[in-house]
Structure 1
């Protein structure tokens, strides 16, 4: 075994042991721990802090600098909580995870679609704890989601087991996976899509996200066009009381912006981003702002297209 493989193996064992330990803790305890560790992440995690604050300047220009700084600080506490809650979502006794979900809002959107014989596409942005959302969906519906193995390969069995243990079907992030999503929707089942991840150049269009062009995946309109599925946005929101204590989670399903059903990919992509914005409005601090949502630019796309034409006709 090479030194790199030995290091990865040790790292995987340490992470798995930590998840197993944290699985025995309650969401309230994990939130208290996040409130202690989050400020350290904000202070020492330069990359996370800078990207978060840059994104917040773009999307909330009317906020004063102190308010944006406070929002960025709180967002990184929530992101820390999400990482600490992974063991709970994947490894805790199912009854404990189910009991931590205090309410489910908008379930009728899924039930009505399935009663009509239609599949449901759940847009699950990086808000709150999306692993708790996955747990609930796969506990109550036939559910399929795309899955990309982790960079630390030794963690793959544990993560896959955690996500599949309530019946979810995980499919690869390629054409074979898309075919599986189509089959599930035609069976009137539910599928999950992450709407706020930046796709490859071949898989997206630019659409406004908080009034600035963001490269957005076009998988959704392709699935809708071929299956007539209903689209909803789903999140697992942390319930934080007035004393800043966690009371568990609430699941929210929101009706999609009607533009997601548009035939034009650019219009549908704008609808997808509007769905993400509506979810964020539930509590902006619970969104994972440290993701570089504006990394690709229209100018880069133009250069990329010209480079491809050069290669083709050279």
Structure 2
């Protein structure tokens, strides 16, 4: 059954890969409101996160932002075929501008690697396409829960030369080697790590469990850190932005570095808040810890 479902998803991605982006954006305008209305989990998590992050916005503005966010998330899913399966020249043509490339070029010219913090913003698969088209690029990869999709996703992400490594010590060693070769690597800065691999650091004013891999990589390689996003220009394409990371990411202290990572993600989100994937449970471990400290034994984590 799962193999059949994976085949259907692959067929859908392949079909949509031939559609123009304007058509995919129009389709997202029809599907996005349905996701908001009928997908209770996505709607509630998005709205609760926005309540935390933008408390000064009116309830109406937060609701509108949630609706726009889910439309953009829907568009990202529809665009996966474009990023993974469309002809490379077609994907390349959809990248309308690249801002801040010099930050990567300068790092390599200095004999330093570049660590790209790539939050779940805009279309991060298009960002992967561009990075692996222009630089030796390595990123960690965790296979999907639906194993039958693994070869499809892996092929899509690796087709322009990216090297995918596992999310374990062997993968970390591969990242270090790439940085020592003055190459670029990608890190997801906005996913909660496993217990023991992070610290609680502020994210929009509330503590969020944040990975501490970055200071270890910087300390051993003197790499330059930038934030990278592929901002969607609705119906037209994408603009890639590379931003200087918050200077605290270079601090050897785990908490200070993690605070810098979260501040860097906040700066990227400020480009277009609706394009961030707010439906991710970024504060899940925060809630777990707070409830543990309060000695609650019967609770429901949102």
TM over 0.5: yes
Pairing partner for 1:86 from 80, 95, 106? 80
**Paired position in structure 1 for 2:101:** 107
* Structure 2 counterparts to residues 195-210 of structure 1, below 5 A: 195-210=189-204
- Is 1:265 the counterpart of 2:254 in the alignment? yes
The alignment partner of 1:177 has SS state of: helix
Q: Once the two structures are superposed, what CA deviation does each residue of 1:41-75 show, in whole Å capped at 9, x if it has no partner?
A: 00001000000000000000000000000000000
Query: Is 1:119 paired with 2:113?
Result: yes
Confirm whether residue 155 of structure 1 aligns to residue 152 of structure 2. Answer: no
Gaps in structure 1 of 5+ consecutive residues = 1-6, 241-245, 305-314
Aligned counterpart in structure 1 of residue 123 of structure 2, from 122, 129, 147: 129
Match of 1:289 in 2: 278
Number of the residue aligned with 2:21: 27
**1:88-107 CA-partner distances (Å, limit 9, x unpaired):** 10000000000000000000
Task: Tell me the matched-pair count.
Answer: 293
Kindly state the Cα deviation for residue 297 of structure 1 after the two structures are TM-superposed: 2.0
Which residue of 209, 220, 244 corresponds with 1:215?
A: 209
Give runs of ≥4 in structure 1 deviating > 4 Å: 301-304
Q: Does 2:68 align with 1:74?
A: yes
Q: How far apart, CA to CA, are the structure 1 residues paired with 2:164 and 2:145?
A: 17
Matched, 1:142 2:131: no
TM-score, length-normalised on structure 1?
0.92
Matched, 1:254 2:243: yes
Aligned residue number for residue 4 of structure 1: none
Quote the residue 1:308 is aligned against. none
| 1:226 aligned onto 2:220 | yes
Q: Alignment partner of 2:271: what SS?
A: coil
Distance (Å, rounded) in 2 between the aligned partners of 1:297 and 1:47: 19
User: Does the C-alpha gap of structure 1 residues 162 and 299 become closer, same or farther in structure 2, counting only changes over 3 Å?
Assistant: closer
How far residue 247 of structure 1 moved from its aligned partner, in angstroms, is 1.5
Counterpart of 1:277 in structure 2 is: 266
Root-mean-square deviation (Å): 1.2
d(CA) in 1 for partners of 2:178, 2:25 = 36
Give the secondary-structure state (helix, strand or coil) at the position aligned to 2:82: helix
How many Å apart are 1:144 and its aligned residue? Answer: 0.1
CA distance in 2, matches of 1:61, 1:67: 11
Q: How far has the Cα of 1:193 moved from its partner?
A: 0.3
- Alignment partner, residue 180 of structure 1: 174
SS in 1 for 2:285: coil
Give deviations 1:14-36, integer Å, cap 9, x for gaps: 00000000010121111111111
Q: Which residue of 1 aligns with 2:233?
A: 239
Q: Could you tell me how far apart the structure 1 residues matched to 2:22 and 2:120 are?
A: 21
Matches within 5 A, 1:185-196: 185-196=179-190
1:300 CA displacement: 2.1
CA deviation profile, 1:175-207 (whole Å, cap 9, x unmatched): 000000000000000000000000011100000
Q: Secondary structure at the match of 2:138?
A: strand
1:216 match: secondary structure: strand
